[in-house]
Amino acid sequence: MLSAPQACHLLANDADSVGPGSDHPAIVVDLADASPDDARTLTSVLGAAPCVTIAHADRPRWPPPDGFDVVVSPSSEVDRPWVTATPGPVIDGVTRNPVASLTLVQLLRSTGGQHWRAALTAESFAYSMLQSGPEYRSWLASRATPDIPSSEAQPAVTVDRAGEHLMITLDRPRVHNAYNAAMRDALVEVLELARLDSTVTEVVLNGAGPSFSSGGDLTEFGTVADPATGHVIRTRRNAAAALFAVQDRTTAMIHGATFGAGIELAACCGRVIASSDVRMRLPEVSMGLIPGAGGTVSIPHRIGRERTAWLGLSDEEIGASVAQAWGLVDEIG
């Protein structure tokens, strides 16, 4: 752990000694004795840091200097952007996959002020790049060969309209509504119809079975012909973009496992109502990737980039009460 003056000197004069390929893919900075001058200097160097930057304080006295990727404290009495946690889980995640980790925080640093369309395009570029990287290839090689399910007779998404209300249900309960290409394409199609039909005043997105969505369907990982083609597909058929387009009249009803793409898409909705049993994670960095279903745009919009980075880098799980306190969900019911 570095003091604030040590971190300032390191990032200003010896930045090549940190980041992927070094022994220090992340740095932790103790803000206990940071002065206002230290804070100003840190703000000037953090944005270009070639590593993940973590601020730590036992008892935060003021908001952290702008620019840290993650800010943690053991104190339970902290406000945004602080997370009540230790640096350990983030450091472990960054150490396992330093390239994906740095890519995530660099993307979050750079897209905060962009329109959601531009930010989603940037997310897709970064995701595609990582699909060619060694960390993702290592993850693919390490996992057991997935069982490819036979074709499903039931649609991946079912739709029910009652007057002005449209109910969209993720309908693959046997696999906890794992998000696959068929589900993505069906969502894009029905949401485009909702966008064009002004008589639809309320759209509700929910999930059948025990989970809202367990995230991306792992049986499809590694099956796209090449990353460039994957980028084209994501930008042309993007369910997050389709949800943002009708955000003001859309509510997500989430429950059970709401992982990866599940919480990324739900966070695109104007309102999120969670059951008390909801569990949320962003596991993509642990696979050598970043959230790729809109999560680097939708989740920071709700909870800020620092807490988004903490979720992605630590792969820790949060429940309904924390999600509501952070603003990731609007109501527990």
**Which tens digits make up the pLDDT trace of 37-68?**
888 889 999 989 999 999 999 988 778 889 99
| Average of per-residue pLDDT across 70-75 | 95
Q: Could you give the number of structural domains in the chain?
A: 2
Residue 280 lies in a domain: yes
Please check whether residues 86 and 142 belong to one and the same domain: no
pLDDT at residue 149 tops 70: no
What pLDDT shows up at residue 128? 96
What confidence score (pLDDT) does residue 188 get?
97
Residue 264 has pLDDT above 80, yes or no: yes
pLDDT (mean) for 315-326: 97
**Chain position carrying tokens 């304080």:** 57
Q: Is residue 49 part of a domain?
A: yes
Residues spanned by the domain of 259: 115-332
311 and 186 in a single domain? The answer is yes
**Percent of the chain with pLDDT strictly greater than 70:** 98
Q: Give DSSP secondary structure letters for 88-122.
A: HHHHHHHHH-HHHHHHHHHHHHHHTTS-HHHHHHH
Of 157, 155, 48, 170, nearest to 110 (Cα)?
48
Give the CATH number of the domain where residue 223 resides: 3.90.226.10
Q: Note whether residue 23 is domain-resident.
A: yes
Same domain for 147 and 60? no
Identify the domain boundary among 49, 66, 96. Answer: 96
List the one residue out of 235, 216, 245 whose CA is nearest residue 125.
Answer: 235
Q: Is residue 103 part of a domain?
A: no
For residues 262-286, average pLDDT: 98
Is residue 101 in some structural domain?
no
Mean pLDDT of 160-171: 96
Structure confidence at residue 143 (pLDDT): 86
Percent of the chain past pLDDT 90, that is, above it, reads: 81
107 is a domain residue: no
Residue 151 pLDDT class (50, 70, 90 cuts): low
- The whole-number pLDDT of residue 133 equals 95
Last residue of a domain, one of 96, 127, 151: 96
pLDDT of residue 250: 97
Provide the pLDDT for residue 62: 78
Residues 123 and 69 in one domain: no
Which of 63, 96, 129 represents a domain boundary (last residue)?
Answer: 96
pLDDT bucket at 27, cuts 50 / 70 / 90: very high
* pLDDT tens, position by position, 231-250: 998 999 999 999 999 999 99
Mean pLDDT for the chain? 94
- What one-character-per-residue DSSP string does 311-330 give? HHHH---EEHHHHHHHTS-S
Instruction: Specify whether 223 is located in the same domain as 312.
Output: yes
Question: Please, which residues have CB within 8 angstroms of residue 302's CB and are 6 or more apart in sequence?
Answer: 267, 326, 327, 328
Is residue 197 scored above 70 in pLDDT?
A: yes
